[in-house]
């Protein structure tokens, strides 16, 4: 997993509440066994019409938001099923940060496990960010995980909180497997001695 320290990027607004995981990555695209390749299907039913043509009215299709790594959402982002494909699709599309007033718990946890930083901010603060993205073309934010701040070029500075363990894992680029491998010496020692432990237990 790629370490996360800071991201400076255009912020893309998705002004919808209760964005569920089936909207993030529709079920018909879950047949892939790799974690990559899902970005092309992100928000598929909103990004494209029934004929597969690009929907120009959808927020993320607008040129001003192309290449964004920061997504701003509304309440209960990531609700619905527990599919881990949702953060896979967001990450593969290019998003490293999702900001919202609240998240569904499973989606929130899955983001950390896959290198995405989900940030919970008060609703009035999120409202301000939405207004700023609308008012300024290519409005940029810097999300600094080392200092736990969100800032822009106009003096805005917003502190945010994140669990210390999860923060450390993101800073070091550690997923669950990476955390386990930090104990590789102890695991190897246990495996080397396991036959003797088993023989004693069997007596």
Mean pLDDT of 33-50: 93
**Total residue length of the chain:** 203
Higher per-residue confidence, 189 vs 26:
26
Q: Tell me the fold of 6-172.
A: Aconitase; domain 4 (3.20.19)
pLDDT of 9 reads: 98
List the structure tokens of 18.
């209760």
How would residue 174 be classed by pLDDT, with cut points 50, 70 and 90? confident
Query: Alpha helices, DSSP H only, in 68-146?
Result: 85-93, 105-113, 123-135
Q: What is the pLDDT of residues 58-69, one digit of tens each?
A: 999 999 999 999
How far apart CA 168 and CA 188 sit, in angstroms, is 25
Q: What is the pLDDT of residues 83-135, one digit of tens each?
A: 899 999 999 999 999 999 999 999 999 999 999 999 999 999 999 999 999 99
Task: For residue 192, give the DSSP letter.
Answer: H
pLDDT of 192 reads: 60
The answer to whether 111 touches 87, Cβ cutoff 8 Å, is yes
pLDDT of 17 reads: 98
pLDDT of 203 reads: 52
Please tell me whether residue 141 adopts helix, strand or coil conformation: strand
Residue 199 pLDDT > 80:
no
Range(s) within the chain of domains with CATH label 3.20.19.10: 6-172
DSSP track, 6-59? EEEEEEEE---SS-BHHHHS-GGGTT--SSSS-GGGTTHHHHB-TTS-B-TTSG
Say what the pTM is: 0.87
């Amino acid at each position: 997993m790629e370490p996360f320290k800071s991201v400076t990027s255009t912020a893309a607004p998705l002004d919808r509440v209760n964005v569920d995981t089936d909207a993030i990555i529709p079920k018909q695209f879950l047949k892939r066994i790799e974690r990559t390749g899902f970005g092309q299907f992100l928000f598929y039913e909103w990004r494209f019409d029934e004929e597969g043509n690009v929907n120009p009215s959808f927020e993320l299709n607008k040129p001003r938001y192309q290449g964004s790594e920061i997504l701003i959402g509304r309440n209960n982002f990531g609700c619905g099923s527990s599919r881990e494909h949702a953060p896979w699709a967001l990450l593969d599309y290019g998003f490293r940060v999702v900001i919202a007033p609240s998240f569904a718990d499973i989606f929130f946890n899955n983001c950390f496990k896959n290198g995405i930083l989900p940030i919970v901010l008060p609703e009035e603060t999120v409202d301000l960010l939405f207004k700023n993205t609308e008012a300024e073309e290519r409005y940029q934010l810097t999300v600094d995980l080392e200092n736990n701040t969100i800032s822009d070029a106009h003096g805005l500075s917003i502190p945010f909180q994140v669990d210390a363990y999860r923060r450390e894992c993101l800073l070091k680029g550690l997923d669950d497997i990476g955390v386990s491998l930090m104990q590789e010496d102890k695991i190897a020692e246990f495996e080397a001695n396991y036959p003797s432990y088993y023989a004693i237990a069997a007596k």
